[in-house]
Amino acid sequence: MDYAAFGDVLVFDTTYRTNQYKKPFVILAGVSNHFMIIIFGCALLLDETMKTYTWVLETLIEAVDGQRPISVVTNGDRAMRQLMLKKCKIVEFDNAWARMVKQYKLENNNWVLEIHRKRDKWAEAYLRGHMFAGMRSTQRIEGMNAYFNMFLEQKVRLYEFVAQYDRALARMRVNEPETESKTENSFPVLTTPLRSLEKHAAELFTRKIFSLFRREINKEGKLFVMERVELEDRGTYRFGEYKAPTSTWTVEYFRADITIKCCYLKFESFGIPCCHMVTVMKSEQLMCIPPSCVLKRWTRRARSGYEQPSLTQISGTLTQTARFGILSSCFSEMSYYASHADNDFEEAREMAFQMTLKMKKRWAMRTEYNIAVGDKNIAPKLCGVGDPNVVKTKGNPRGTSSMGKPPKPRRCGYCRSIEHTKRRCKKLASTSRREGSDSDIETFMNTELEPHMEDIDEPTNSQV
């Protein structure tokens, strides 16, 4: 369901390794409507070949009913990031690249030539207008690696790895209800002069996306209209920026369907209106953000409208695991709200108790029915990785002798009776009362040495 709402951008991080077997651990992630990293899945690979990576992506597409991402972000060379993120036009980038190559005499360097041929896959100037949702590199995913390090140590075994991975995801998902609650139950303070647009954005977007859009409203103050041309079907604006005379931006406003197109292409690549589009909204006296300038993935209702995927072709264990996770998330959110007041807490606890009893009775009835019809798949265990089956060992079972005879009964260490132990021996108690008697020495010798006498064999002639 997360992928259905936020699978337009897929981050494919291949740099992470953690387990005892030195196998690469690949994280498949995206970004949610709260601008937080969201994990779609992971893969523990055998190797790092093209064939293996192809299998991972094909398996993911099959799992999400064929929905392909718009963009895929993978890790690249760290030294190239500052050049690749330079925000400029294509001509400016090409000129800067030519100056760099000439300065360092790299005209015949094979690596530089190969990277330049692939510039349309990594350079900001060439990727403007392509949707990446702010995930232009795997840098944010590398922060996830540090998070997983708290749970996944390099010496962890495979069966421990799966359980620890589930723990890490569970803790990540606890943070989302808190962020969701902040968005739904609070309202930010309006601070910009464009109160109508700012208020509409606060009602429409999540809190994090609203803060990013408010930055664009604040940037609008640096812009001024250089030229305005009215055509038959649209109006064209050309803007300049304060203290940046060489920077000009062109925006087209189509009044028929209230559509705004900016040459900056921030809306096409990130999904929120840029400051140039905000200036047009102000000039056209718009009181709210046009629907054409709103991307659903950043709104509060980003997940609405997506049905739960069918689990009919998945095994019963995976189905129960999925249901367990969904219910845990739902009740976690309810618990957060109910914990703020005494009466809400008492009501929620009572309802949870009654519901637990009801579900437990139904589960017991299904279990009895399955036993009656001979269904063996009724193990009452929670989701996760269970313990392995206990196998028969090569040694003798505990409590039996090597010859299959029953063990010898315990005897009294003083009188050798099997009816009691030395602590409750009456003969020993009566003998101990004779103080100063020579029998004390005899009692001591009998008590301490007699239990061991049976282990001493009679000496043979050779031993003599």
* Residue of 311, 312, 267, 315 lying closest to 291 (CA atoms): 267
Judged against a pLDDT cut of 50, whether residue 444 lies above it is answered with no
pLDDT digits (tens, 9 = 90+) for 157-196: 777 777 777 888 887 777 788 888 888 888 999 999 999 9
Residue with tokens 């999540």: 206
Spatial separation of the C-alpha atoms in residues 276 and 239, rounded to whole Å:
8
Judged against a pLDDT cut of 60, whether residue 436 lies above it is answered with no
Judged against a pLDDT cut of 60, whether residue 313 lies above it is answered with no
The pLDDT score that the predictor gives to residue 381 is: 47
The pLDDT score that the predictor gives to residue 307 is: 62
Spatial separation of the C-alpha atoms in residues 349 and 372, rounded to whole Å:
35
Q: Is 430 helix (H, G, I), strand (E, B) or coil?
A: helix
* Contact between residue 368 and residue 380 where contact means Cβ atoms under 8 Å apart: no
Judged against a pLDDT cut of 60, whether residue 80 lies above it is answered with no
Least confident of 3-17, 105-119, 257-271, 447-461: 447-461
The pLDDT score that the predictor gives to residue 275 is: 94
Spatial separation of the C-alpha atoms in residues 360 and 166, rounded to whole Å:
25
- Cα-Cα end-to-end distance for the chain: 88
pLDDT digits (tens, 9 = 90+) for 403-425: 455 667 778 877 888 777 777 88
* Contact between residue 247 and residue 241 where contact means Cβ atoms under 8 Å apart: yes
Spatial separation of the C-alpha atoms in residues 123 and 100, rounded to whole Å:
15
More confident residue, 291 or 312: 291
- Which residues, including other chains, have CB under 8 Å from residue 279's CB and lie 6 or more apart? 220, 223, 225, 237, 239, 251
The pLDDT score that the predictor gives to residue 333 is: 81
Spatial separation of the C-alpha atoms in residues 286 and 8, rounded to whole Å:
29
Q: Residue 154's pLDDT band (boundaries 50, 70, 90)?
A: low
The pLDDT score that the predictor gives to residue 18 is: 53
* Residue of 2, 59, 78, 62 lying closest to 36 (CA atoms): 2
Judged against a pLDDT cut of 80, whether residue 438 lies above it is answered with no
Tokens of 161: 């790895």
The pLDDT score that the predictor gives to residue 114 is: 82
* Residue of 183, 185, 172 lying closest to 340 (CA atoms): 185
- Which residues, including other chains, have CB under 8 Å from residue 164's CB and lie 6 or more apart? 151, 152, 156
The pLDDT score that the predictor gives to residue 72 is: 81
Residue with tokens 């991307």: 295
pTM (two decimals): 0.59
Mean pLDDT to the nearest integer, 318-324: 76
The pLDDT score that the predictor gives to residue 293 is: 93
pLDDT digits (tens, 9 = 90+) for 331-390: 888 888 889 999 999 999 999 889 999 998 888 888 877 777 665 554 444 444 444 454
